[in-house]
Amino acid sequence: GRAAMAARRGALIALEGVDRAGKSTQGRRLVEALREAGHPADLLRFPDRTTEIGQLISSYLGREKNLEDHTIHLLFSANRWEHVPMMKEKLQQGITVVVDRYAFSGVAFTSAKGNFGLDWCKQPDVGLPKPDLILFLQLNPEAAAERGNFGQERYETSSFQEKVLQCFYCLMEDKSLNWKTVDASKSIEDLHREIKSIAKETMQEVQNKPLGELWK
């Protein structure tokens, strides 16, 4: 009834995975499909390069600017935090929020640099809205390589990406989070159908659950 509809919150769904796994394509397709089915949904992409912090991050990634490793880690986290009030508002309004990368990329990319403890890496993102679902788009390095060469941005080397992947596997051991691994070697259409079906299940399940806080 009407009261139940009003209480229904949106789901927070994170897409993670190695570069070229298809996160951005699948994020766009998922949000379009949900909207077409009458479920309000919005896509957010991290890093969001449009904010002042995002512009710093973008010039770091483009190698125009060098930033100390702790500093850039904190900036990526700040770039997520600056969107939190808006994300919470949307979720409360019943809008499903799909994020293309989230805190897990944050931890995986910094900890892949070596000499950073996992706990230190997680700390700045502790308390972010906790995803109701983390879809991990799994693609082996050979298949990823076949999708085209890396660009010129920082982090875009196979050896670094392999380390990032190992860090993602560490994070997936945390069973307090709802990780679902999907096979990203499938066609765009097949993967879309699978992701849409998992997302819809999650959206049903969160109806009466409060939004959680990440790593708390």
What is d(CA 190, CA 184) in angstroms, rounded to the nearest whole number?
9
Q: Which stretch binds ligand DGP (CB under 6 A): 7-15, 106-114, 128-136, 179-187?
A: 106-114
170 C-beta neighbours (distance < 10 Å), count = 12
Identity of the residue, 76 or 168, whose beta carbon is nearer to ligand DGP in the bound complex: 76
Q: What is the DSSP string of 38-67?
A: T--EEEEESS-TTSHHHHHHHHHHTTSS--
- How many Cα atoms occupy the beta-carbon half-sphere of 110 within 13 Å? 25
Binding to ligand DGP (CB under 6 A) within 69-88 occurs at: 73, 76
Rg value, the chain, Cα: 17
110 contact choice in ligand DGP, Na ion, none (CB below 5 to 8 Å, kind-dependent): ligand DGP
Establish if 104 lies at the interface with ligand DGP (CB under 6 A): no
Buried b (16+ CB within 10 A) or exposed e, 173-202: eeeebbbeebebbeeeeebbebbbebbbeb
- Which stretches within 147-187 are classed as H helix? 158-172
Residue that is written with structure tokens 């982090």 in the block: 155
**29 touches Na ion (CB under 5 A):** no
With binding defined as CB under 6 A, does residue 109 bind ligand DGP? Answer: yes
Question: Of 106, 124, 129, 131, which lies in the binding site for ligand DGP, with binding defined by CB under 6 A?
Answer: 106
Query: Quick check: 61 binds ligand DGP (CB under 6 A)?
Result: yes
Closer Cβ to Na ion, 24 or 51, answer by number: 24
Q: Which of 12, 15, 16, 23 binds Na ion (CB under 5 A)?
A: 23
- In the list Na ion, ligand DGP, none, the entry touching 192 (Cβ below 5 to 8 angstroms by class) is none
Which residues contact ligand DGP by CB under 6 A?
A: 46-47, 61, 73, 76, 101, 105-106, 109-110, 155
Which residues contact Na ion by CB under 5 A?
A: 23-24
